[in-house]
Amino acid sequence: MQHDEMEYVGFWARVGASIIDYILVLLITLPLLLGIYGTGYFADPDAPIIRGPADFVISWVFPFAAVILFWLHKQATPGKMAVSARVVDARTGNTLSGVQAVIRYVGYFVATLPLGLGIIWVAFDPRKQGWHDKLAGTVVIRPAGDRTEAVRFER
C-alpha cells in the first residue's frame, strides 16, 4: 500500500486502541500479581507503589518491553492493530527507531502529567499527534477513508 493512501488516526480510535491494550495487559499482569502477592496487593492503601522485584518486572518492565517490541516489529500494539492503525516515523513513514520507540513510551508519562492535556492534544492537532508523538517524531496512520486528506511523507 502506498503511503499516500493513508490518513492520520484521530483521538477516539486511539482511545479505543488504548482500552484494548490496557485490557490485554491486565489479563496478563493481574493473575501474575495475584498469584505472587495475593489479594493483599490491592487491599493496602499505604503500600509502596512497587511491592517488590516481581511487581517491578510485571507492572513496569513487561508493559514497556511488550509495547516497544510491538512498535518495532509490527508498527502497532494489538489495540492499534484492531483499528488498523500503525505508529510510524513522522518524516518518512517508516518503522520507528529504537530510540524513537523509547522516547514515545516515556513521552506518554509526560503527556499525561498536566491533566492528560498531551493526550487530548491528539483531538486538536492537524496531524493528530499527541505530545508523545511530537517528542518522538511519530504519527499514527491507517488506510485512508473516502472523506480525509492523504498523509504525505518524504521519499
Every domain of the chain and the residues it spans: 3-42+51-143
Q: pLDDT per residue over 32-51, tens digit each? A: 999 999 988 888 888 888 99
Q: pLDDT per residue over 127-155, tens digit each? A: 999 999 999 999 999 998 755 556 767 65
What does the block give as the cell for 146? 473516502
Which residues are bridge partners to 6 per DSSP?
Answer: 143
What does the block give as the cell for 118? 498531551
Q: How far apart are CA 30 and CA 148, in angstroms?
A: 40
Sign of CA dihedral 125, 140, 82, 77: negative
Model's pTM, two decimal places? Answer: 0.87
| Angle (deg, nearest 10), helices 11-37 and 62-74 | 140
